[in-house]
Amino acid sequence: MLLKIVENEIKNEFPSLVFSLNEKEHVLIIEGPNQEIGNIEIEDDLDELIIVVGNFTHWHASCYNETLSKEEKEKQIASEVTEFLNDLFTDKIVMWGSHKGGGGFYYPEFNENEQDAPLEPNEVNKYVWSGKKIS
């Protein structure tokens, strides 16, 4: 199961991280720092993972490289998720908006000029994982 591979990667990369695994529902839950941000939920959808990014958005982690074995694909997906979590936990990612009215996340370091800026409303709440609200 893909989620078990990700669970092992998370344990190796973030040994002090507290999370829960609901094997029946195929979801791993990392509790968020506060209610405004919400939890990270990693859902196993057999050949991909759906990563719910707090109260903001979600994304799909998958591998379409047909030259790789199933095990290699799973390892690549797990690595991608672990890299994302590392960036999230070190406040390199800004989350904005909500599931209700649209939201997303972006890396501010890659959005320094205006044409690369994320599409977000001007009056939207933005946060980093540590709980800090970005103006």
pLDDT in tens, 13-47: 999 999 999 989 999 999 999 999 999 999 999 88
Where are the chain's structural domains? Answer: 1-135
Q: Judge contact between 50 and 40, C-beta under 8 A.
A: no
| Model pTM score | 0.88
Nearest to 125 by CA among 87, 94, 100: 94
pLDDT band at 115 (very low <50, low <70, confident <90, very high): very low
Q: Judge contact between 42 and 82, C-beta under 8 A.
A: no
Residue environment code for 89-101, b if the CB has 16+ CB neighbours within 10 A, otherwise e: beeebbbbbbeee
Nearest to 129 by CA among 44, 28, 48, 17: 17
